[in-house]
Amino acid sequence: MKDVAEICSDLIRFDTTNPGPGERPAAEYVATLLADAGLEPVVFESAPRRTTVVARMAGDSPDALLIHGHLDVVPADPAEWRLPPFSGEIADGCVHGRGAVDMKGSCAMTLATVLGMRARGQRPKRDVVLAFLADEEATGDYGSRHAVSEHRELFDGVTQAISESGGFSVDAGGHRVYPVAVGERGTAWMKLTAHGVAGHGSKPAADNPVATLAHALSRVAAHQWPVRLTPSVAALIQRLGEITGQPVDLDRLDAEAARLGPLGQLFQGQIRNSANPTMLNAGYKVNVIPSSAEAHVDGRYLPGQREEFLETLDELLGPKITREFVNLEDAPAAPYPSSFFDELAGSLVAEDPLARPVPYVMSGGTDAKSFARIGIEGYGFAPLMLRPDLDYFGMFHGKDERVPVAGLEFGTRVLTRLLT
């Protein structure tokens, strides 16, 4: 039976860059492992080579838990990496390559857990649905959205789900904190357009859309979004104060985040809405004022803040800018406190007595948004014990991505405890 590091290495060697060649080879590998373990994987495609695998492992209760992960990865430039990004090389106690953290390492932990349980004849305490999805690194149209709309029956009986990004250790000042995600910010990716009057670049502009758009984007980029503490983020901040023995000053959260270092990163991007200009497109010749200009903005809003976010954004943009959504997803929130959160926390503490689980809200987004549409409560829980010198947040979409072998083995033990 393959161990977790070997599975992770194998998965990384499949180039599943999105956009790119598709997830099919990796999905076929996953399906083969599951079938060899006696499960009956369902493999389907939303488009050629955009492949997803779903399987169900019967347990003692039909109240099912979903474990989902994505097989696609973001691009990687080999020239920027110390080791080839799709080598899957195991060196220095780590598995190296694109997707090691986001999130083929987590998929490997899920697979190793299931394979180990099947080999030992262990039956989970509840049904477990396993989903290995396409297209998370884009909109999910070819992955989770397609799965819940076209293959809804595969998720019958599922009440809760776990996936990225949570359950990892954060070492700071002798404390080992494990954030468990109970929600994430909503997504509002927008295309902005300014219309104006085309003309010669040498003459006074009647209505230059490039300038109009530039001014609007400057207002958006300079805006200081107000602090909005959701209950879960407030609970996180309170717990961090209790763990460190020094209460966090709610009136100066930015300074407190800096003071707390890695622990501060757990709430620094989760106390506000945000909007970042990311793409620009205007004009076709240096001496021609174009009739329109376009930009894209990555907007994120906290649970319950969608209306306020959009109203503020429209004020910043002004009446001459039109916007349309490229991707709009609500901000899902799972119950906290809850008995299931306690189960997740308990499985961590059982493997690491020094673990201090805390609630957490992700600043970005995951496939949990799609599953929330069909009533599944999503928690970020991909357990991983990390070395203190590893910048976990920097690994996401960064160069030289890698994951410790010992961390993967720890996560496999935690998942086994959770399921049994």
Give DSSP secondary structure letters for 197-255.
--EETTS--SS-HHHHHHHHHHHHHH--PPP---HHHHHHHHHHHHHHTS---GGGHHH
Catalytic residue among 23, 127, 136, 329: 136
pLDDT, one tens digit per residue, over 305-326 is 999 999 999 999 999 999 999 9
The tens digit of pLDDT for each residue in 212-264 reads: 999 999 999 999 999 999 999 999 999 999 999 999 999 999 999 999 999 99
- pLDDT band at residue 389 using 50, 70 and 90 as cut-offs: confident
The pLDDT, as a whole number, for residue 172 is 79
The pLDDT value recorded for residue 236 is 97
Collapsing DSSP states into helix, strand and coil, what is residue 174?
coil
- On whether the CB atoms of residues 55 and 61 are closer than 8 A, the answer is no
Query: How large is the average pLDDT for residues 145-168?
Result: 97
Instruction: Specify the 3-state DSSP secondary structure of 14.
Output: coil
Instruction: Give the separation between CA 135 and CA 141, rounded to whole angstroms.
Output: 7
Give the separation between CA 10 and CA 21, rounded to whole angstroms.
Answer: 17
- Annotation marks residue 45 as catalytic: no
C-alpha span between 7 and 69 (Å, rounded): 14
Please give the pLDDT value at position 106. 98
- pLDDT of 287 strictly over 90: yes
Closest CA to 384 of 117, 179, 128: 179
Edge-to-edge, what's the strand order for the sheet holding 274-282? 274-282, 292-301, 186-195, 321-329
**Residue 355 DSSP symbol:** E
pLDDT score at 270: 95
- Could you give the angle at the alpha carbon of 156 between the alpha carbons of 344 and 69, nearest 5°? 50
How many Cβ atoms from other residues are within 10 Å of residue 47's Cβ?
12
Nearest one of 52, 81, 229, 212 to 147, comparing CA atoms: 52
**Whole-angstrom Cα distance, residue 193 to residue 213?**
7
- Identify the residue with better confidence: 134 or 172: 134
> What does the pLDDT read at residue 1?
83
Instruction: Tell me the residue type at 161.
Output: A
Tens digits of residue pLDDT in 23-78: 999 999 999 999 999 999 999 999 999 999 999 999 999 999 999 999 999 999 99
Model confidence at 173: pLDDT above 80: no
Query: What number of residues does the chain have?
Result: 420
Q: What is the pLDDT of residues 393-414, one digit of tens each?
A: 888 889 999 999 999 999 999 9
Residue 286 token pair: 């240096």
pLDDT digits (tens, 9 = 90+) for 64-123: 999 999 999 999 999 999 999 999 999 999 999 999 999 999 999 999 999 999 999 999
Instruction: Check if 72 is active-site.
Output: yes
